[in-house]
A = this chain, B = another copy of it.
Amino acid sequence: MTTAVDDDLWSAIGDPNRRRMLDLLLDGGAASATALSDQLPVSRQAVAKHLAVLDRVGLVRSSPEGRERRYRVDQAQLERAVAQLNAVGATWDARLRRIKQIAEAIQRQQDG
């Protein structure tokens, strides 16, 4: 069963820019909104809003560091998100597999 929290996680990673931000953060360890926006096609403020979304669902955490605020991935929460992805993928995969098997059975029946 899918919960509301899971939906929040999904919609957080549903946005392509947010996914790329997670990629960048995983790659660099930690970064500020300004640093991230340098590597993304959107403004620093847009990045800041996305970071707020990711923070709200717990996918990133931040701490002030001098005059900048650095964000880093919350590994446990990203693992939960990955588990969600895998779960949905596995469900659909199983269902598709079953449909194919049925289709093949019908085919054999018609041929035979």
Spell out A's residues near B (CB within 8 Å). Answer: 2, 7, 10-11, 14-16, 19-20, 22-23, 26-27, 75, 78-79, 81-82, 85-86, 88-89, 91-93, 95-96, 99-100
Task: Tell me the bound Cα distance from A23 to B89 in angstroms.
Answer: 11
Task: Tell me the bound Cα distance from A25 to B22 in angstroms.
Answer: 32
Residue among A11, A86, A95 with most chain B CB within 10 A = A95
Q: A89-B85, A89-B89, A92-B26 are in contact. Are A7 and B2 (CB under 8 A)?
A: no
| Overall SS of chain A's interface | helix
Task: Tell me the bound Cα distance from A95 to B26 in angstroms.
Answer: 7
The answer on a CB contact under 8 Å between B16 and A15 is no
The answer on a CB contact under 8 Å between A14 and B22 is no
Across-interface contacts of A15 in B (CB, < 8 A): 11, 14
Closest to A16 in B: B7
The answer on a CB contact under 8 Å between B89 and A75 is no
